[in-house]
Amino acid sequence: MNAVVFALPGNEALAQSLADRLKVRCGLLQVRRFPDGEFFVRFEEETRDRSVILVCTLDRPDVKYLPLIFAAATARELGASSVGLVAPYLAYMRQDKRFHAGEAITSTIFAGEISRVFDWLITVDPHLHRRQSLDEIYTIPSDVLHAAPAMSAWIKANVQNPLVIGPDNESEQWVSAVAKDAGAPFTVLEKIRHGDRDVEVSVPRVENWRDRTPVLVDDIISTARTMIAAVGHLNTLGFPPPICIGVHAVFAEHAYADLMNAGAQRIVSCNTIPHASNAIDLDDYLATAVAAYLSPQ
């Protein structure tokens, strides 16, 4: 297959893993900074007439965005037959509306720029809040993979007698799927967010499940305020310390330590963002999705 995978800095393990699974080359992409801080980007492998796959998870996106755009545009300029992006975590999904006059709707702007330089996009559980599909903002074909089956399998294999708990009403469909495959009951929190770091929750309908191990699941753990509020609430209800599972281990600043200190029994994440909590491997799903974009030569 005439394809080649390149890692943006920090994505080397996933790029190699995808290349191995797809049986294609993992090429070297040099990204460094000039003394003045500007980026230098160079492909150390031929890209002409090849399907180029760039791997770049997009947590802390601002520093990753420019070299990514430079690399994609360069691959195209150097004759790549297609340029695809594997971004297991997709950034700028949350500001999807103008909450107050004058605000930038960054999800739309970001999607427009990515769509301009890439031919396709693969990601995992993007935070589609008020949108039904990535197609509303991305103009390129995109594949959205779901971590739910892998999370269910992890819960089934690692937790005895689980009770799966979701962060809010909107998560009910997703959480019920995780619970069903794990063979567990589920409930969802009632959540009120007062600010970026101020979250209040209550857990309804839990009286019958006090003998179970609570497993909190969420798509993103960022400040961890949602999880921390839930851990505290479960504690006051007399539950044992919960296991906290997030698809995307964003963990802003000291959020991971804060969540451990709040009384989580264990914190587990999918490997969409490299982090010490990664325990659920999605590389097979990603490789299968990439293969669908590569035509056999």
Q: How far is the CB of 252 from ligand R5P (least distance, A)?
A: 7
Cβ distance to ligand R5P smaller for residue 142 or 226: 226
Tell me, residue by residue from 190 to 209, as one string, x for binding to ligand R5P by CB under 6 A and - for no binding: ---------x----------
Tell me, residue by residue from 58 to 97, as one string, x for binding to ligand R5P by CB under 6 A and - for no binding: ----------------------------------------
Please enumerate in sequence order all residues whose Cβ is within 8 A of that of 213, keeping only pairs 6 or more positions apart, or say none: 159, 160, 161, 162, 163, 240, 242, 243, 265
For residue 296, count other CB atoms closer than 10 A to its CB: 6
Choose the stretch contacting ligand R5P; rule: CB under 6 A; options: 2-10, 204-212, 221-229, 279-287: 221-229
225 scored as a contact of ligand R5P (CB under 6 A): yes
Q: How far is CA 38 from CA 66, 74, 250, in A?
A: 10, 16, 26
145 scored as a contact of ligand R5P (CB under 6 A): no
Q: Under rule CB under 6 A, how many of the chain's residues touch ligand R5P?
A: 11
Distance of alpha carbon 25 from alpha carbon 178, whole angstroms: 35
Q: How far is the CB of 130 from ligand R5P (least distance, A)?
A: 11
189 scored as a contact of ligand R5P (CB under 6 A): no
167 scored as a contact of ligand R5P (CB under 6 A): yes
Choose the stretch contacting ligand R5P; rule: CB under 6 A; options: 7-15, 224-232, 237-245, 280-288: 224-232
269 scored as a contact of ligand R5P (CB under 6 A): no
Task: Pick the binder of ligand R5P from 74, 152, 226, 269 (CB under 6 A).
Answer: 226
Q: Are 86 and 53 in contact (CB under 8 A)?
A: yes
End-to-end CA distance of the chain: 5
Calculate Rg over the CA atoms of the chain: 20
Supply 213's token pair: 């191990």
Distance of alpha carbon 232 from alpha carbon 241, whole angstroms: 9
133 exposure class (CB count in 10 Å sphere: 0-12, 13-18, 19+): exposed
Task: Pick the binder of ligand R5P from 54, 87, 137, 221 (CB under 6 A).
Answer: 221
List contacts with ligand R5P (CB under 6 A): 167, 199, 218-226
